[in-house]
Amino acid sequence: MAESPVSSEDKYGSLMADRALLTSLMEAAASGNKDSLLSVVRKVEERYGTQASSNTEGGAAAVGDSLSPGVLLGFRDAHGRTVAHFAALGGAPDVLELVIKLCPSAVNVKDNSGKTPLFTAASLGHVKSLELLLNRGADVGASSEGGSTALHEAVYAEKAAAVKLLLEHGSNPNTASDMGTPIQIAAVTQQKEILELLLSHGADPNGIPTADASSAPSSPFPPALILAASKNECAILKLLLEKGADPNAADAEGFTALHCTAETNCASCTQCLLSSGANWGMLANDGSAPLDLARQHKSEAVLRLLEPLGESLRKQRPNPSPAPKESSTAAETGETTTSNDPAGKVSFVPITLDPAGQALPGMVSNVEKLKDEGNAAFRISDFMTARAKYTQAIEDCPKVEILRDLLGILYSNRSFTNEQLADAEAALADAQWLMRIMRVQATQLRPEWSKAHYRLARAHRLSGGTEDYISELWEALRLDPTSSQIQEEMNAAVQAARQTNAKGKSNVSA
């Protein structure tokens, strides 16, 4: 005898409380057995139907006739998953088709995280179930709370057939989520076949989408090329480059693919990047170049490729002029501002920092903006623009004590930029002004002070002053003895000097 139907006002509130029926329904859907599901649906109908079934033989066509379409979907587990999600999990198209027949809206029903049955089928590679859902109106672009789509799930699960089907039905391969973009996922999980599928369907090899008010979150991960380089995946890296990936793309920290291969000592990836136009002189936000990282990590194979390139910028410049002498009024602070005239010459205008002066936030933010623009230009090797931006920032920076460090950064950056331009005179002058700006007690071990000596050392190196170069390196190392970069450069400089001296003595003896 059938149980009495539950009143409509109590019906949906009682669904979740009926744990035994809930469990039976989900297990039957996931089992892939249509008859098992039919049996449980009959029990649901007896309990929650609006009227007794008119089909006494219990045929499949009559089952569920007395159920409102939303009743079956009212049964949810602790994660909000419905019978449709579990039918997609089971992978049996006939079971899923029965659920859709009873509840047409099931194709787009979402669980607590915003995922539809399409996500479930995609993540398991159930292509027939996936095709059924798509043909019955499933939204191929439906996104979860984290912004992911069924395509993200299929790529992450390495289900190439599911990826292909979703792409053929219009899934966007450039959608960003908290998992990254599909192409980023494929790169970091080293899936060349899936990467080829994505690229052939319009995936942008350089894509790092940004969020707006109506879009999914921006990707939190670096460009696909950097991810491939970090894994030493030469085949994937080459494929991305062939499809138009920018060899100089940088992550949020300014690191490029070449920085990654310098750390991992992958000569093959490095050569591929260099052949594709990667700029070996690009600096990360912390000022490190790929060559610096190769030295730091003792990446011998990469060093053999990068060091000859580094030598090409070490040009000699005749008779560099010393920085101007300190004026008596600025002796304690030693600050200046500079400007470039149309001919590109550097002129110096002495100024004194106001020890009690303040700076309006808008003025400081403008200087910071110019600095960031200079950094961005430097990273793409547009050194002339970078120098112009740093110069403008120096001119606009309020000359107050509290901005001493910011001025020091600007002079440091411009000195390094002049080094890249092989302008020994300007590089040396900026480095010497940096020394004055960052003046502190000589006994104070301060990284900024060490950096000033290091910049001065590099300028001397460019101008051919070997002894001054080594002397300033020594002082930089004394103030920052933990810097492996300075230590390695110091060792190399001393060794080179010894070899030069030994050669000279040999020539004299002869």
Structure token digits, residue 36: 């098992």
CB contact set of 111 (below 8 Å; sequence gap of 6+): 76, 79, 80, 81, 82, 85
pLDDT, position 464 = 72
Structure token digits, residue 315: 């040009």
Count of Cβ atoms closer than 10 Å to residue 399 Cβ: 18
In angstroms, the CA 320 to CA 316 distance is 10
DSSP-assigned states of every residue in 384-438: HHHHHHHHHHHHHS--BGGGHHHHHHHHHHHHHHHHHTT-HHHHHHHHHHHHHHT
pLDDT in tens, 90-146: 999 999 999 999 999 999 999 999 999 999 999 999 999 999 999 999 999 999 999
In angstroms, the CA 338 to CA 316 distance is 24
- Counted residue by residue, the chain has a size of 510
**E-strand spans in 37-110?**
none
First and final CA of the chain: distance in angstroms? Answer: 118
In angstroms, the CA 351 to CA 433 distance is 12
Using N-to-C axis directions, what is the helix angle for 34-48 and 19-31, rounded to 10°?
150
Phi/psi at 337 (5° precision):
-125, 155
In angstroms, the CA 251 to CA 274 distance is 18
pLDDT, position 474 = 67
Per-residue pLDDT of the chain (510 residues; tens, 9 = 90+): 333 344 444 444 455 557 888 899 999 999 999 999 999 999 888 888 775 444 444 444 466 666 777 888 989 998 999 999 999 999 999 999 999 999 999 999 999 999 999 999 999 999 999 999 999 999 999 999 999 999 999 999 999 999 999 999 999 999 999 888 999 999 989 999 999 999 999 999 997 644 343 444 455 688 999 999 998 999 999 999 999 999 999 988 899 999 999 999 999 999 999 999 999 888 888 888 898 899 989 999 999 999 888 654 443 333 333 333 333 333 333 333 333 443 333 444 444 566 677 777 778 888 889 999 999 988 888 888 999 999 888 888 887 778 877 888 888 889 888 888 888 888 878 877 777 666 543 333 344 556 667 777 777 777 777 767 776 776 676 666 677 777 777 777 766 666 654 554 444 333
pLDDT, position 40 = 92
Nearest to 133 by CA among 172, 89, 173, 177: 89
Structure token digits, residue 95: 């079971």
In angstroms, the CA 389 to CA 366 distance is 11
Residue 504, H or E segment: helix 484-509
Structure token digits, residue 91: 């992978």
Domains of the chain, CATH where assigned: 331-509 (1.25.40.10)
pLDDT, position 80 = 93
Structure token digits, residue 179: 């998992």
